[in-house]
Amino acid sequence: MARRTLHDRYYKQAKAEGYVARSAYKLLEINQKKRLIRKGDRVLDLGCAPGAWVQVALEIVGPGGSVVGLDLQRVRHGFGENAVTIEGDAEQIEASRLTGAGVAEPRLFDCVLSDMAPSTGGGAGGSGDHFLSVRLCEAVLGLTPGVLKPGGNVAMKVFEGEAYKGLLDRTAGMFEKVKGFKPSASRDASREIYIVAHGFRKS
């Protein structure tokens, strides 16, 4: 069972296509259907290790764009000059450290991504994991005014549960359009869903 779960078709496809993790296909589908990232964008990826979303974002933004990744652990994969990765905690980091990464002058981002999740045993996300994942999303929303351009977009992972609606409502208070979306590459047993938000309203 464990082998079938870990070595599914997305895992094999990622290995074949050069992505460092199967999660690449989640962002590919989110962007295909929700159009979060555009060519030339500056993208912030929170919880970026091992780097699959950085890889996908770089493909989308092209040579005129850039990606900054943040994670608690060091990202060992090399991405080229258009990507910078930082070791740090999204719940504690200063926004200026992110907007100043890889540029001579601080620059806001066009899109903020978060695939952050609490450490879970089976990947499904129980009640405790749900509340921890909501807290991580709250950290994303807390960072947003300091890092995201007006009109910018966000996608962040959360485990569904009783606090989901409140999180969705808070996000809707900051963006023009907000919707939940579960990509095909998410495991069937997982309660993960992505809150996809367009059009940041800077107060």
The catalytic residues are 157
Helices marked H in 44-126 — which ranges? 52-61, 95-99
AA identity, residue 99: T
Helices marked H in the chain — which ranges? 2-6, 9-17, 24-34, 52-61, 95-99, 127-147, 164-172
Residue in 91, 99, 63 with CA at minimum distance from that of residue 79: 63
Q: State the first-to-last Cα distance of the chain, in angstroms, to the nearest integer.
A: 49
The set of residues, in sequence order, having a beta carbon less than 8 Å from that of 159 and lying 6+ positions away, is: 117, 125, 129, 130, 133, 134, 190, 191, 192, 193
